[in-house]
Structure 1
Amino acid sequence: MGDRTPVLIGAGQFTYRGDPGVSPSPTALLKIAAERAAEDAGIGAKGLAGIDGLAVVGFTIDAPGSKRGMIPHSTNPPANLAARIGAAPRWSVYSEMGGNTPQYLINTLAERIARGETDLALAVGCEFLGSATKRATRGLSFDDWKAGEPEDLPPPQRIGDPRPGNTAYEARHGLDRPINIYPLFENALRARDGRSIPDHQRRMGELFSRFSKVAAGNPEAWFPVERSAEELVTVTEKNRMIGFPYPKLLNAIMEVDQSAAVLVASEAKARELGVPESHWVYLHGCADASDLWHPLDRQNFHSSPAMELTGQRAFEMAGIGLSDIDLIDLYSCFPVAVEIGAEALGLSLDDPRGLTVTGGLPYAGGPGNNYVMHSVAVMLQKLRQKPGAYGLITGNGWYLTKQSTGIYSTKRPDRPFERQDPAVLQRQIDALPHPEIVERPSGAAVIETYTVVHKREGPFMAIVVGRDGAGRRFVANTPQDPALLASMETSEQVGRKGTVSHSEDGLNLFIPG
């Protein structure tokens, strides 16, 4: 295989829990994680300055439609970080949005190394909404973040798919954020399986209680607290409903201050730098693909062809099977991401190996697009402690849309690293049949899936995805009737019939029969 085999040589994480008024800037968070990765690899500041590839995960505040523009940050995070660590990488990129991004970047860097285009690369990301939000709401200064941040940097080269995750039609009816969209998948999955609402709530609580137990043992977790299944799903003042069926404690927590970084090198470069082989972890298999892009385009709301196909491809590339896996971290922004991911991979929710190594996004922390960098960093350490074992990681972006998978081990691969062009899987997925969409439905209709969206004061809007008499899919809202909204959380609505109409303001209204 030669010396071009890519290998992960170091990883670092950082969690800041101090005074938000003196919290590290975004660039400082990136730098701390990068330096910790270099320390872990044993290459120090000089080795870190020698990177010739740099990939920075996009900040959440740079997402399309973000309203957090008042929070200052670098106009070119890769260039600013490179200057801070004394590096001059030949290839430097800033990613588009998506929780799949860290694994996607590692897959890309490994491919570049195998091709001889890069020798030593840094993948790094952070989130800072925890302290940034507190500074903004309390009127605290950001002057220390601005100090030393050049304002005239050219825009960075971007990598990834820049398309917004939803259409204007979807957004008009509330399908414009994860907390409103993932519940659609959860309720559809429950109805498909024929579980009662109380039984399904218990199932979600039991699943994520196991995640919280792992977080309790993770020193970098944002909430290192074990919680019972009942605590997670019981609605209280502190655990209010967000989007039915998810109380607050079942939602990813994004307002954190966390960073993580991974160093990837060729075997030749790792030897040149003196990194001990006991520190080496190989990427044995990987794959990237997206499901049909917009939520309304999906074949259904209880499966993910992209999760299934990227999993299959990663195992084929690695030359192993699911039974060979020892450690697992499934993307866990909401319970349904784990439930659908496990089903796509052939895992049971109570698999004795466990489904997370970090504790998951609601408890370890869901730092914007960078969570998977943390799961890779933890996986790296666990695999070093268990030589020859295999670890599986999945990443998910937008609304069960973008999927990336990676399989890791300290064992040296017995074949060259050859990443399949993601377009191969994408052609398969894009060719899948899916329902016709109608934007101006009228007449008899039936609910395919739904959610009830809450404010602090209580429920204020229901979102219904339904089919009209011709089988075409639409999205609509219901009347804002408190009794109706309350009933939609206590009795199954999937399959309920009614009528739908279109108003001049561009909104569809579904009235249950």
Structure 2
Amino acid sequence: MGDRTPVLIGAGQFTYRGDPASSPSPTALLKIAAERAALDAGIGAAGLAAIDALAVVGFTIDAPGSKRGMIPHSNNPPANLSGRIGARPRWSVYSEMGGNTPQYLINTLAQKIARGEAELALTVGCEFLGSAMKRAARGLSFDDWTADEPEDLPPPERIGDPRAGVSPYEARHGLDRPINIYPLFENALRARDGRSIPDHQRRMAELFSRFSEVAKDNPEAWFQVARSAEEIATVSEKNRMIGFPYPKLMNAIMEVDQSAAVIVASEAKARELGVSVDKWVYLHGCADAADLWRPLDRQNFHSSPAMRRTGEKALEMAGIGLDRIDLIDLYSCFPVAVEIGAEELGLSLDDPRGLTVTGGLPYAGGPGNNYVMHSVATMLQKLRLRPGAYGLITGNGWYLTKQSTGIYSTKRPDAPFEREDPAILQREIDALPHPEIVEQPEGRGAIETYTVVHRREGPFMAIVVGRDEAGRRFAANTPSDAALLSGMETTEQVGRPGTVRPGPDGINIFTPD
């Protein structure tokens, strides 16, 4: 083990709440977080310039099919940032999409350091949709963002799984956005438990009220406001329904200006740089895996084998049980991500340890793919104040698809850092059975799960995942009937029978009885 043991030595966060017309560029956001991480580690600008590995979290505007790609930004964020901090890393990558990415990158960098392939690594990400969307809406210039951006940089090397989150068939039926897909899991979970719609709304709101209480005391949180369960659950002009059963306050807030960075080093390099030992935090356990890729392929809509197995693998690697965990941060883009994550790990929703250290994505901020970098940075600070305590962090990408888990402590590991090849666990999950899918169903069927999608004016579309009489799974929309859509939000629809038929443009129509 010795000199190659990877250790996290610094972390930095930044939240910009000022005038959008003066907001930092994406590269500036990255640089601020990186400099704060270097300051935290005590290595300064010279130490930051000495990094030999760099991993930048992909911006959401670079997601496949994103309509925000016209917002000016660097075509090679790692190279651009390296130039700004005077670094010349031997290994430099830009990630694919997914909220699991920061933990995945830390797992990867720790492995490279343990193998002697790097000594000092920086991973950093940011989101800038808050100011970018306001600038675009007001017709403001982006010239200050592009003034110092090199135009002739080659494309960056990418890391991660580049596949789109859904198939064209799913996308045609509206299953192409988190706000349309996560409600399917939520409604399925509620129906499985036999909970009434009002009781389930209250349960979700009480869970997220506790998250907002944590955000209130987080200096980097986007909303430093404690919200009551009643406020979160009550649909109003300021808390309109987005995708049933989620009003706005149960959705991750994407339009933020936030950045965060973490520095990982070998023990030898940390000593060489003079980093105080009381700053050191170790990655004791980690794991990465994805559930069956397409949402329609899942065994059901109320579980996540990948969440369960990455949690088990990370605890096994750390050599501890869940009872030894003192601090927890579960990915929280929507309530169901927390509910399923807790269930798969064996946690209760009212666990006295709490399920977030930041306040979660709806309140601390949901900076695109980079939220988990903020949870790691916050966890580092908390663990330093509790020497020997353990912290568990989960990251979730796409649609309860990609999962990454990390376990941290100031305690030095007893064994060498040996990350299991993620392909081993992935083969296990890929071999799980799943329903047959039919793309052009016709005849009788029943609703397996569903959601009602809203505009500001009200509900306009219902998305149904159903099973035909042969047990095959299909996607469909319902007729756009106001009374039908309204009723689907007040009466349980899971199990409701009806008729499905292929419609125009390849969109199936399910008409409930």
Give TM-score, length-normalised by structure 1. 1.00
Distance 1:76 1:233 in 2: 42
How big is the shift at 1:504? 4.0
Does residue 39 in structure 1 map to residue 39 in structure 2?
Answer: yes
CA distance in 2, matches of 1:208, 1:138: 33
Alignment of 1:350-361 (within 5 A): 350-361=350-361
Other structure's SS at 1:423 match: helix
Q: CA deviation at 1:2?
A: 1.7
**1:430 match:** 430
Q: How does 1:291-302 map to 2 (within 5 A)?
A: 291-302=291-302
Distance 2:146 2:261 in 1: 23
Q: Give the Cα–Cα distance (whole angstroms) in 1 for the partners of residues 39 and 109 of structure 2.
A: 20
Map 1:210-289 → 2, pairs under 5 A: 210-289=210-289
CA drift of 1:503 comes to: 2.0
Structure 2 residue 204 is the aligned partner of structure 1 residue 204: yes
Instruction: Output the amino acid matched with 1:115.
Output: R
Alpha-carbon distance in structure 1 between the residues aligned to 2:298 and 2:273: 47
Aligned residue for 1:416?
Answer: 416
- For residues 431 and 480 of structure 2, the distance between their equivalents in structure 1, rounded to whole angstroms, comes to 38
SS of residue matched to 2:12: strand
Matches within 5 A, 1:91-490: 91-490=91-490
Mapped to 2, the partners of 1:233 and 1:159 lie a distance apart of: 39
RMSD (CA atoms): 0.4
- 2:467 partner SS: strand
User: What do the CA deviations read for 1:71-130 (whole angstroms, capped 9, x no partner)?
Assistant: 100000000000000000000000000000000000000000000000000000000000
* SS in structure 1 of the partner of residue 237 of structure 2: coil
Alignment partner of 1:79 is 2:79 = yes
SS at the partner of 2:369? coil
In structure 1, how many angstroms separate the alpha carbons of the residues matched to 2:504 and 2:182?
28
How far apart in 2 are the matches of 1:506 and 1:114? Answer: 51
Aligned to 2:117, the other structure's residue is in SS state coil
Secondary structure of 2:199's match?
Answer: helix
Counterpart secondary structure, 1:446: strand
Q: Which amino acid aligns with 1:362?
A: P
* Displacement after TM superposition at 1:69 (Å): 1.9
CA displacement 1:315-353 (0-9 Å, x = unmatched)? 000000000000000000000000000000000000000
Identity of aligned residues (%): 85
| CA deviation after TM superposition for structure 1 residue 505, in Å | 2.1
State how far apart, in whole Å, the 1-side matches of 2:134 and 2:495 are. 43
Deviation, 1:194, is 0.3
How do 1:21-40 and structure 2 match up within 5 A?
21-40=21-40
- The C-alpha deviation readout for 1:10-32, integer Å capped at 9, x for no partner, is 00000000000010000000000
Corresponding residue for 1:48? 48
3-state SS, counterpart of residue 369 of structure 1: helix
Question: Which aligned segments of 4 or more residues in structure 1 are displaced greater than 6 angstroms?
Answer: none
Q: Determine the C-alpha separation between the residues in 2 that align with 1:281 and 1:505.
A: 54
Return the letter of the residue paired with 1:332. S
* Letter of the structure 1 residue corresponding to residue 88 of structure 2: A
Secondary structure at 1:433 match in 2? coil
SS of 2:288's equivalent? Answer: strand
Letter in 1 for 2:427: R
Alignment match, 2:502: 502
Unaligned runs of 5+ in 1: none
Structure 2 gap segments, 5+ residues each: none
Note the alpha carbon deviations across 1:133-155, whole angstroms, 9 max, x for none.
Answer: 00001000000000110111000
CA distance in 1, matches of 2:198, 2:434: 31
Q: Which amino acid aligns with 1:430?
A: D
Distance, in Å, in 2 between the alignment partners of 1:102 and 1:285 is 15
**Amino acid corresponding to residue 404 of structure 2 in structure 1:** S
User: Which amino acid in the other structure matches residue 464 of structure 1?
Assistant: V
The size of the alignment, in residue pairs, is 513
Shift of residue 238, structure 1, vs aligned partner = 0.4
1:374 offset after TM fit, Å? Answer: 0.1
